[in-house]
């Protein structure tokens, strides 16, 4: 038996030991009565009892966006909760060549497990394959590699579900109107996730024949682009009933444009779950009435998964001996009715 084969069997083939908090976070739409909806970093870590020492290599993005910064912080803070985890963190990068070099350095250091949020899933597939072939299991975070052979487990958000839930929320709010007009402020159109969010939104609206989507603008997930593109939408559309904005960071700019235009005849639904969005929803004195989650806590759960792999454990709550090959997080809608539960999870 080769060293590679034996190591893979050791890491992937042992019986399940509980990590029940993980699946509770990944499958529940809302916290239970017994749990507070505190931030991922305040929740009990999965299977806290110290075990085998595990070195996890973490290669994340450049923190040039509120959500991306929150992802990195969730990973680091989660690792600090474990006495048996050492986290080797690379400097975040959105440059594929730089990130590939950083991951190769972690492979050469012979870390036990890798957690990778690739700048570009397609471009980094080969380095994921390299790690797996070296016997280092990879937890692929959010942006997915092109080949399932490049990772042991994928965990990420549900982009289609974001659009679907945003569409249903808006549809239910407007179903009493004889006719209704909605507009969409999307993200970067060259990203598959943007197209998935739009597709989910469009599919949801098919259930509401009284609603017509009359305009769509693509921004690029920044405050500046959100303001500029929203201003264009407002100029082109003299009146509409609802706006879905894909991203709460660009939503800050969108709200500026809305305020400057003096418009308030519509409701707005955001995306991701920023603290600023939660606070605006709680105050309820503007157009923003809800946001659809894309939780950065997925990075904390990725650390849980990596630790379980390094210790040869599974996930509590499942009959199987192995951790799942993929975990898709739920895109809950947060509005005034439940925002208090989620407030501490909001990212800046």
Over the stretch 299-329, which tens digit does the pLDDT of each residue have?
Answer: 999 999 999 999 998 887 878 888 999 999 9
Residue 246 has pLDDT above 50, yes or no: yes
Q: How far apart are CA 239 and CA 53, in angstroms?
A: 60
Beta-carbon contacts of residue 234 (< 8 Å; ≥ 6 apart): 257, 258, 261, 263
Residue-averaged pLDDT of the chain: 88
Q: What is the pLDDT of residue 64?
A: 84
Residue 289 has pLDDT above 70, yes or no: yes
Domain boundaries for CATH 3.40.50.2300 within the chain: 3-157+296-329, 159-293
Q: How far apart are CA 117 and CA 124, in angstroms?
A: 10
* Burial letters 308-334, b for 16+ CB under 10 A, else e: bbbbbbbbbeeeeebbbeebbbbbbbb
Q: What is the pLDDT of residue 72?
A: 95
Residue 56 DSSP SS3: strand
Residue 3 has pLDDT above 70, yes or no: no
333 - beta bridge partners?
A: 292
Q: What is the pLDDT of residue 46?
A: 53
Please choose, from the candidates 229, 242, 248, the residue with its C-alpha nearest in 3D space to the C-alpha of residue 292: 248
Q: What is the mean pLDDT of residues 128-135?
A: 98
Residue 200, both tokens: 């989910």
Q: What is the pLDDT of residue 18?
A: 31
Residue 50 has pLDDT above 70, yes or no: yes
On the 0-12 / 13-18 / 19+ scale of CB atoms within 10 A, 179 is exposed
Residue 86 has pLDDT above 60, yes or no: yes
Residue 15 has pLDDT above 70, yes or no: no
Residue 57 has pLDDT above 60, yes or no: yes
Q: What is the pLDDT of residue 63?
A: 86
Residues 246 and 271 sit within 8 Å (Cβ to Cβ): yes
DSSP state of 316: T
Q: How far apart are CA 127 and CA 192, in angstroms?
A: 21
Q: Which CATH class is domain 3-157+296-329?
A: alpha beta
DSSP state of 291: E
Q: Which of 8-17, 53-62, 67-76, 331-340 has the lowest mean pLDDT?
A: 8-17
Over the stretch 328-341, which tens digit does the pLDDT of each residue have?
Answer: 999 999 999 999 99
Residue 263 has pLDDT above 70, yes or no: yes
Q: What is the pLDDT of residue 149?
A: 98
Q: Which of 7-21, 64-78, 231-245 has the lowest mean pLDDT?
A: 7-21
Q: Which residue has the tokens 């040869």?
A: 312
Q: What is the mean pLDDT of residues 83-108?
A: 96
- pLDDT band at residue 27 using 50, 70 and 90 as cut-offs: very low
pTM of the prediction? 0.83
Please choose, from the candidates 61, 182, 160, the residue with its C-alpha nearest in 3D space to the C-alpha of residue 117: 61
Please choose, from the candidates 197, 242, 189, 241, the residue with its C-alpha nearest in 3D space to the C-alpha of residue 217: 189
Beta-carbon contacts of residue 82 (< 8 Å; ≥ 6 apart): 45, 48, 50, 303, 307
Architecture, CATH, for domain 159-293? 3-Layer(aba) Sandwich (3.40)
- pLDDT band at residue 24 using 50, 70 and 90 as cut-offs: very low
Q: What is the pLDDT of residue 203?
A: 98
Q: In what order do the strands lie in the sheet containing 326-328?
A: 85-89, 54-59, 113-116, 138-141, 153-156, 326-328
Over the stretch 187-212, which tens digit does the pLDDT of each residue have?
Answer: 999 888 999 999 999 999 999 999 99
Q: What is the pLDDT of residue 47?
A: 63
Q: What is the pLDDT of residue 278?
A: 98
H or E segment and range at residue 102? helix 96-108
Q: What is the pLDDT of residue 315?
A: 81
- pLDDT band at residue 239 using 50, 70 and 90 as cut-offs: very high
Q: Percent of the chain scored above 90 by pLDDT?
A: 78
Residues 125 and 146 sit within 8 Å (Cβ to Cβ): yes
């Amino acid at each position: 038996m080769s060293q590679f084969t034996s190591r893979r069997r050791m890491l992937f083939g042992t019986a399940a030991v509980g990590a029940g908090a993980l699946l509770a976070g990944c499958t529940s739409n809302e916290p239970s009565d017994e749990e507070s909806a505190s931030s991922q970093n305040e929740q009990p870590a999965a299977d806290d009892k110290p075990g085998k020492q595990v070195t996890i290599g973490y290669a994340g993005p450049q923190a040039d966006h509120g959500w991306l910064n929150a992802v990195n912080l969730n990973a680091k803070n989660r690792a600090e909760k474990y006495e048996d985890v050492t986290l080797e963190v690379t400097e975040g990068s959105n440059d594929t060549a730089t990130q590939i070099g950083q991951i190769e350095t972690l492979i050469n250091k012979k870390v036990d497990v890798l957690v990778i949020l690739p700048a570009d899933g397609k471009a980094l597939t080969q380095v994921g394959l390299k790690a797996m072939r070296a016997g280092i299991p990879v937890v692929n975070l959010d942006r997915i590699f092109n080949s399932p052979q490049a990772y042991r487990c994928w965990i990420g958000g549900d982009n289609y579900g974001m659009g679907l839930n945003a569409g249903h929320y808006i549809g239910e709010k407007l179903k009493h109107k004889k006719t209704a007009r909605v507009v969409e402020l999307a993200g970067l159109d060259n990203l598959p996730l943007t197209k998935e969010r739009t597709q989910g939104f469009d599919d949801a609206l098919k259930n509401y024949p009284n609603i017509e989507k009359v305009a769509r603008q693509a921004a690029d997930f920044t405050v500046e682009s959100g303001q500029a593109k929203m201003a264009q939408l407002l100029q082109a559309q003299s009146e509409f009933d609802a706006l879905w904005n894909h991203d709460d960071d660009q939503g800050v700019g969108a709200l500026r444009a809305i305020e400057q235009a003096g418009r308030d005849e519509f409701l707005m639904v955001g995306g991701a779950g920023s603290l600023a969005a939660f606070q605006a929803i709680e105050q309820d004195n503007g157009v923003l009435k809800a946001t659809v989650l894309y939780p950065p806590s997925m990075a904390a759960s990725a650390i849980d998964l990596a630790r379980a792999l390094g210790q040869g454990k599974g996930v509590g709550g499942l009959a199987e001996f192995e951790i799942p090959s993929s975990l898709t997080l739920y895109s809950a809608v947060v509005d005034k009715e439940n925002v208090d539960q989620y407030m501490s999870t909001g990212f800046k």
